[in-house]
Amino acid sequence: MTTKLLLLPGDGIGPETMAEVEKLVALLNEASDAGFEMETALVGGSAYDDCGKPVSDATMDLAMQADAILFGAVGGAKWDGVAYELRPEAGLLRLRKDMELFANLRPAICYPALAGSSSLKREVIEGLDILIVRELTGGVYFGEPKEIIDLGNGQKRAVDTQVYETYEIERIARAAFDLARARRGKVTSMEKRNVMKSGLYWTEVVTRIHRDEYADMQLEHMLADSGGMQLVRAPKQFDVIVTDNLFGDMLSDIAAMLTGSLGMLPSASLGAVDAKTGKRRALYEPVHGSAPDIAGQGIANPLAMIASLAMCLRYSFAMTAEAEALESAIAEGLDAGIRTVDIMRDGCRQVGTAGMGDAVRDSFRTKLTA
């Protein structure tokens, strides 16, 4: 039986970083019996240019049939004038929503070699290992109504709606507690219960799930604004952070900078486990975007994309040894002083996207064949 990997490189630096992942999958196929069958399709602005939609129905079918999806990034100034429903980002949102990828895991790990690359002091981030669990298919991203209404008096009203139903909070809370159980057993739930009804209800549901199902674990509640402050003041106090779609988006970009660069943070977007097949839908993507300011120069950091492949091996295929080998190949390159420009320091060797990919691949090959 073959395993189908759907590659959606997207726009900007997406195709540049995905090229490195493609080479790593090819290496896995050579050096193991993984048997990954790769198929590539357009998404985002490049899909819009091709077919007038940011993700075609044919690509959605491929996504539904794939065993896992690797996603690059979408967006760029070229599509600024495109209708809201057809903008590149809408393609990614449709994939998340239609595939019901409700749990977005965004780990922030500070590699020892990068402890000096963060804008924060070394002692604040050295040894950092936290996991943000972002709710991904609900909240203000998808709530209705979502519209701009002409009031007819020269004024308009723009509306987005934050909505959470019980089951959505229950399932993301369970995902966070299950993940924390395999870590340090602590979950911090972040919301704004002081101003939002949805925050109040979020807290109530998370508290109940904890009391009824995970009472042996530690739960704390934090207002999301204060949580952002604590993330840069003393990030190592956290283990797992569970939060809604919008706060999770913002808090994970903040967490990215703790690790030295947005180019370092991978993510996994997971659906529920199918009771019949035991499989779950999954999409893996870096936290960063299409980086239009550096696209086309061959200098983007591919490590977030490569670490997303490691998450894919771990969560979709239980290839733990290979995932660990790939992660340690990333660390080895960094230890050897190999750097893309975003994490460059004095005394290190600067390489481009392909140079970084080569370094990881050489080290990964050695580990796979050892």
282: annotated binding-site residue? no
Residue of 67, 191, 239, 249 that binds Mn ion (CB under 5 A): 249
Written as one letter, the residue type at 12 is G
Nearest CB to ligand NAD, comparing residues 222 and 304: 304
Residue 239, marked binder: no
3-state helix, strand, coil in the chain (%, to 5): 45, 20, 35
Q: Is 167 a catalytic residue?
A: no
Does 343 help bind ligand IPM (rule: CB under 6 A)? no
The site map against ligand NAD for 2-21 (x = CB under 6 A) is -----------x--------
Write down the least CB distance from residue 224 to ligand NAD, Å: 19
Binding mask 67-86 for ligand IPM (x = CB under 6 A): --------x-----------
Residue of 48, 111, 141, 284 marked active site:
141
CA-CA distance, 195 to 193, in Å (whole number)? 6
- Which of these, 216, 279, 327, 252, lies nearest to 66 by C-alpha position? 279
Does the footprint of ligand NAD cover residue 222 (CB under 6 A)?
Answer: no
Cα angle 295-296-297, degrees, rounded to a multiple of 5 = 95
Instruction: Confirm if 3 and 289 have CB atoms less than 8 A apart.
Output: no
Among residues 129, 160, 253, 358, which one is catalytic? 253
Helix axes 353-369, 14-31, angle to 10 degrees: 20
Establish how many alpha carbons lie within 13 A of residue 220's alpha carbon, considering only the half-sphere containing its beta carbon: 13
Known binding residue 87? Answer is yes
| Position 89 contacts ligand IPM (CB under 6 A) | yes
310 makes contact with ligand NAD (CB under 6 A)? no
Q: Is 271 in the site for ligand NAD (CB under 6 A)?
A: no
Region 283-302 residues binding ligand NAD, contact defined as CB under 6 A? 285, 288-294, 300-301
Our answer to whether residue 141 is catalytic in this structure is yes
225 among known catalytic residues: yes
Cβ proximity of 239 and 185 under 8 Å: yes
Residues 6+ apart with CB under 8 A from 253: 262, 287
- What sign results for the dihedral spanned by CA atoms 144, 54, 83, 103? positive
Strands annotated E in the chain:
3-10, 36-40, 68-73, 103-109, 129-135, 147-150, 156-159, 186-191, 218-223, 240-243, 268-273, 280-284, 338-339, 349-350
> Taking CB under 5 A as the rule, does residue 244 contact Mn ion?
no
Query: Token pair for residue 10?
Result: 């997207």
Fill in the per-residue mask, 285 to 324: x = in contact with ligand IPM (CB under 6 A), - = not in contact. --x-x-----------------------------------
Does position 92 interact with ligand NAD (CB under 6 A)? The reply is yes
Of 300 and 329, which has the nearer Cβ to ligand IPM?
300
- Is the bond preceding residue 145 a cis peptide, omega within 30 degrees? yes
- In DSSP terms, which residues pair with 156 in a beta bridge? 150
Q: Was 84 annotated as part of a binding site?
A: yes
Active site residue 249: yes
Annotated active-site residue 201? The verdict is: no
Q: Is 298 known as a binding-site position?
A: yes
- 178 in a known ligand binding site: no
Active site residues: 141, 192, 225, 249, 253
Binding residues (CB under 5 A) for Mn ion: these are 249
Positions at the binding site for NAD(+): 76-89, 289-301
Binding site for ligand NAD (CB under 6 A): 13, 73-76, 89, 92, 262-263, 285, 288-294, 300-301, 304, 342
